[in-house]
């Protein structure tokens, strides 16, 4: 039944967050004095007033169902007076005024197969793009599956095992980089290796030619006529397989299960602590995409984590450690092969060449 449009309220905005703050949070708003990481996944925040709130952080697969949300709500009702929050990395946080509730809550979470962890110098919950679940442009790899496979392998680093500093991992299934990968300590990015195949029967029907031309970062696309219809051609020498034209014009088919690969990046950092934010750099240009568990990718990521764990100093983020030891040493320690593809040849590429003789042998 169509309600009358006039009866509808527009632009009410999101619910006001104030109603969602636990009374202890509300009373001590802006008055927190310090906090401590009691164990992975458990924090205590102490207020100027002496009040305390205990936070239990639990990992989630991000893609959840309504019954999962309801079960989480049951726990929040039982242990946190009906309040809960989520973090920017898809964890669930329960804030408990009562210390006695920590252990029973953790026991229940663990009984439900939900890991407690993700605080302090450990591996954080992975961020990822949408992949085959819901996106129309991913290269031939699935975001949720790779995330699950990597987190399974690194599970103990989320729940218990301390590292020199925190490690943030992300996955993106195309160069749109929805997973926010370039500021991650370790990133996995699916890439194409072959120019798009243009379907000339289709371009004139589904694509706006000027936006398609403008979408290309290297001006590889030119307008043309094929059998009297407007279409585009792609200069294969110029194309860098970014797939942006495909996201604009579906007749520029670029997804290719035979050729698409997974690349690994390392050393990104977003916080300003010690060093300034920096972008991740390429460490492995291409690994095969092997569903359902992507073993090659998982072992490359684990390799980086383990080498970092053994070699970095305390409070040194992955990228800071690499900057200290130098990239030649990183490739030596990890055993990754350094190839021509590691050398930038895009815009302003020359800025990344080594311009001194300060070399460690």
Partner 1 sequence: MVDKTEMLDELEKGPWPSFVSQIKEQAEKNPISRDLLRQLEQSYKDKKLYWRHGGVVGVWGYGSGMIGRYSARPDLFPGVAEFHTVRLNNPSGWFYNTKSLRQMCDIWEKYGSGLLYMHGMTGDILLLGTTTENLQPCFDELSSEASFDLGGSGPGIRTISCCVGPARCEWACYDTLDVTYDLTMTFQSEMHRPSLPHKFKIKCSGCPNDCVGAILRSDLPIIGTWRDTIQIDQEAVSEYINGGFDIVSYVINRCPTQCMRLTEKELGINDRECSRCMHCINVLPKALRPGKERGATILIGGKTQLVEGTIISSVLIPFIKLTPPYQEIKDLVNKIWDFWGEYARGRERVGEFIQRIGLGDFLEGMGIEPNPYMVAHPRENPHIKFEEYYREGD
Which residues, numbered 286-325, are part of the site for partner 1 (CB under 8 A)? 289, 291-293, 314-315
**CB 267 to partner 1: min, Å:** 14
Count, residues near partner 1 per rule CB under 8 A: 115
- What is the DSSP pairing of strand 52-58 with strand 92-96? antiparallel
Nearest-approach distance from CB 217 to ligand SF4, in angstroms:
6
Q: Which residue has the tokens 């060449």?
A: 353
Block residue for tokens 């989480």 = 72
CB of 285 to ligand SF4, least distance (A): 17
The option from ligand SF4, partner 1, none interacting with 196 (CB < 5 to 8 A, set by class) reads ligand SF4
Contact criterion met (CB below 8 Å) for 243 and 192:
yes
Query: What distance, in Å, lies between the first and last C-alpha atoms of the chain?
Result: 76
Least distance (Å) from ligand SF4 to the CB of residue 326?
Answer: 24
What's the CA gap between 172 and 187, in Å, rounded?
8
Instruction: Choose, by CB under 8 A, the member of 42, 57, 79, 85 that binds partner 1.
Output: 85
Task: Decide: 139 and 190 in contact? Cβ < 8 Å.
Answer: yes
> Do 267 and 292 meet the contact criterion of CB atoms below 8 Å apart?
no
Residue 305: contacted member of ligand SF4, partner 1, none (CB under 5 to 8 Å, by partner type): none
Residues that bind ligand SF4 (CB under 6 A): 195-196, 215-216, 218, 220-221, 234, 239-245, 252, 254
Torsions phi, psi for 320 (to 5 deg) = -70, -40
Q: Which of 119, 231, 244, 263 binds partner 1 (CB under 8 A)?
A: 244
Phi and psi of 340, rounded to 5°? Answer: -55, -35
- Show contacts with partner 1 in window 323-342 (CB under 8 A): none
Q: Hey, which residues between 167 and 226 contact partner 1 (CB under 8 A)? A: 175-183, 206, 211, 214-217
Q: Of 144, 212, 231, 263, which one interacts with partner 1 (CB under 8 A)?
A: 144
Query: In whole angstroms, how close is the CB of 58 to partner 1 at the nearest point?
Result: 9
Question: Per rule CB under 8 A, is residue 77 in the interface with partner 1?
Answer: yes
Give per-residue burial for 336-354: e unless 16+ CB within 10 Å, then b: beeeeebeeeeeeeeeeee
Residue 67 or 227 with smaller CB distance to partner 1: 67
Please give the Cα distance from 213 to 192 (Å, whole number). 19
């Amino acid at each position: 039944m169509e309600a009358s449009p006039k009866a509808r309220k527009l632009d009410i905005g999101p619910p006001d967050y104030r109603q969602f703050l636990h009374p202890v949070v509300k009373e001590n708003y802006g008055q927190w004095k310090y906090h401590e990481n009691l164990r992975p996944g458990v924090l205590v925040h102490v207020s100027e007033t002496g009040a305390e709130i205990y936070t239990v952080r639990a990992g989630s697969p991000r893609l959840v169902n309504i019954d999962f949300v309801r079960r989480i709500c049951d726990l929040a009702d039982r242990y946190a007076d009906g309040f809960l929050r989520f973090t920017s990395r898809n964890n669930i946080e329960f804030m408990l005024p009562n210390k006695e509730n920590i252990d029973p809550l953790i026991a229940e979470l663990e009984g439900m197969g939900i890991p407690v962890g993700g605080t302090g110098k450990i591996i954080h919950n992975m961020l990822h793009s949408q992949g085959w679940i819901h996106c129309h442009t991913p290269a031939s790899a699935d975001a949720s599956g790779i995330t699950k496979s990597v987190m399974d392998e690194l599970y103990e680093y989320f729940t218990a095992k301390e590292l020199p500093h925190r490690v943030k991992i992300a996955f993106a299934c195309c160069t749109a980089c929805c997973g926010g990968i370039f500021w991650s300590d370790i990133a996995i990015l699916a890439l194409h290796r072959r120019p798009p195949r243009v379907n000339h029967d289709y371009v004139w029907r589904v694509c706006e030619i000027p936006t398609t031309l403008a979408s290309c970062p290297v001006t590889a696309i030119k307008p043309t006529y094929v059998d009297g219809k407007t279409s585009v051609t792609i200069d294969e020498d110029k194309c860098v397989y970014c797939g942006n034209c495909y996201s604009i014009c579906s007749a520029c088919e670029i997804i290719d299960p035979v050729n698409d690969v997974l690349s690994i990046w390392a050393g990104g950092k977003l916080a300003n602590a010690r060093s300034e934010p920096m972008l991740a750099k390429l460490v492995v240009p291409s690994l095969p995409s092997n569903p359902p568990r992507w073993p090659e990718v998982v072992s490359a990521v684990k390799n980086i984590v383990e080498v970092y764990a053994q070699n970095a100093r305390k409070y040194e983020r992955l990228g800071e450690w690499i900057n200290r030891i130098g990239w030649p040493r990183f490739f030596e320690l990890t055993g990754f092969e350094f190839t021509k593809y590691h050398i930038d040849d895009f815009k302003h590429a020359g800025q990344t060449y080594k311009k001194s003789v300060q070399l460690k042998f």
